[in-house]
Amino acid sequence: MKIVIHCSTAVFAIFSILIFSFQIYYMEALPDSFKIRRGESLQLENGITANVTESEKVSLNLLGVIPIKQVSVSEIDDYDVCLSGKIIGLKIFTKGVMVVGESPVETENGNVSPAEDAGIKIGDNIITIDGKSVSSNESVSQLIHNSNGKKMSVLISRKGVEQNVTLCPAMTKNGDYKAGLWVRDSSAGIGTMTFYDPISGEYAGLGHAICDVDTGEVLSVSNGEIVEANVVNIDRGVKGESGSLCGEFSGDRIGSLNTNNEKGIYGRLDSVTDGKTMKIALKQQIKIDKAQIYATIDGNTPCFYDCEIENLKYANSPTQNMVIHITDTRLTDKTGGIVQGMSGAPIVQNGSIIGAVTHVFVNDPTRGYAIFAENMYDEMKKDGK
């Protein structure tokens, strides 16, 4: 009898630990809010049920009885957009100039580092010098050259926070004044437009930020534009080394580029053409199952390629929401899998846009991350306000 009691206690303890572990896992894995289409109810998988509570919150329960957490739910109308998948050229002019390097200044009394002494760091954006706006390497050099070595008030922006520092230019051996700064005022490249609103002309692309090639910092946009572009060659990706699409700008401006942040690039098209209209799937409607990416790897004509959604991450990351696996040999034979320039390629499942390709796994180019299309749509509409 004692053996039976001990066994029952052990089984109950193990069961309790498992239930508690599931509760902790789902509390962290599930987001605090969901959207649902008007008139529908929240539907989740994995044995999770949703029940409306008196506080107008929705209670998520495991197996219908074990409480996990309460979440808020908001009703929305359908998100209807036009599928893109086209390669676009990107031109960005930064807000001020970005500091991409620092070097010592050689003076009669030895090497000095005015920029470092002022507290200026690589990745900072210089907005003004002595109250004058700067927008190019030339404008910064000219102001420092004309300083005669006097102290200068420099307004910088560091990770979105502005502050003033004092810079004291140093005179070189040839009588010129330098600050020991290397700056960049613009960037260009190619990427993929994910979708656009056929009514407003707003568009979304890339699914991740454009970062400076030297510093890795997100480029702060003063103004920018997108232009027609074509893929002319492919550097195939292999294990340990990511590949890339090689493109060229092939036409005039087609739209503005107003926002560059962790969820992608956003702006407005100058004119809107007819396209294939699709709905944006909400995150809870996405299945761990087969899907397709709509990517351009030759010229500027996108094609569908088979892939699989292997994992979903609802919370904790605004961009790394899905793990995808490219299974279509037509694509892997040519590119090796996901390559640079493919970022923003829309992912379609069950007739709806569910997300966009964002990153490649360097050790396995056939796999990578994707962002929820719902997140990109919300960011697009935020940018359009």
Domain 80-91+186-384, classified CATH 2.40.10.120, yes or no: yes
pTM equals: 0.80
Active site residues: 208, 328, 343
Question: Which whole number is the average pLDDT over 156-165?
Answer: 87
* Per-residue pLDDT at 308 exceeds 90: yes
* Per-residue pLDDT at 23 exceeds 80: no
CATH class held by domain 104-179:
mainly beta
DSSP of 334-368: HHSS--BT-TT-EEEETTEEEEEEEEEETTEEEEE
The confidence score (pLDDT) of residue 18 equals 52
The confidence score (pLDDT) of residue 321 equals 92
* pLDDT bucket at 35, cuts 50 / 70 / 90: confident
Q: Point out which residues pair with 154 in neighbouring strands.
A: 129, 165
Question: Which whole number is the average pLDDT over 173-199?
Answer: 88
The confidence score (pLDDT) of residue 5 equals 56
Question: Which whole number is the average pLDDT over 51-57?
Answer: 55
* Per-residue pLDDT at 21 exceeds 80: no
Question: Which whole number is the average pLDDT over 263-267?
Answer: 94
- How do beta strands 87-102 and 105-107 pair? unpaired
- % of residues, the chain, pLDDT over 90: 38
Q: How far is residue 104's CA from residue 236's CA, in Å, rounded to a whole number? A: 40
Angle among Cα 254, 260, 263 to the nearest 5 degrees reads 110
The confidence score (pLDDT) of residue 384 equals 56
Q: Is the dihedral of CA 247, 347, 263, 365 positive or negative?
A: negative
Helix and strand tally (H, E) in the chain? Answer: 5, 27
How distant, in Å, are the alpha carbons of 107, 266, 308, 351, 355 from that of 83?
A: 58, 15, 19, 11, 11
Higher pLDDT, 56 or 318: 318
Q: How far is residue 162's CA from residue 220's CA, in Å, rounded to a whole number? A: 13
* Per-residue pLDDT at 379 exceeds 90: yes
Q: Domain boundaries in the chain?
A: 2-76, 80-91+186-384, 104-179
* pLDDT bucket at 54, cuts 50 / 70 / 90: very low
The mean of the pLDDT values for the chain is 83
Least confident of 106-120, 186-200, 335-349: 106-120
Residue type, 1: M
N-terminal to C-terminal alpha carbon distance within the chain = 71
The confidence score (pLDDT) of residue 83 equals 96
Q: How far is residue 321's CA from residue 305's CA, in Å, rounded to a whole number? A: 20
* pLDDT bucket at 9, cuts 50 / 70 / 90: low
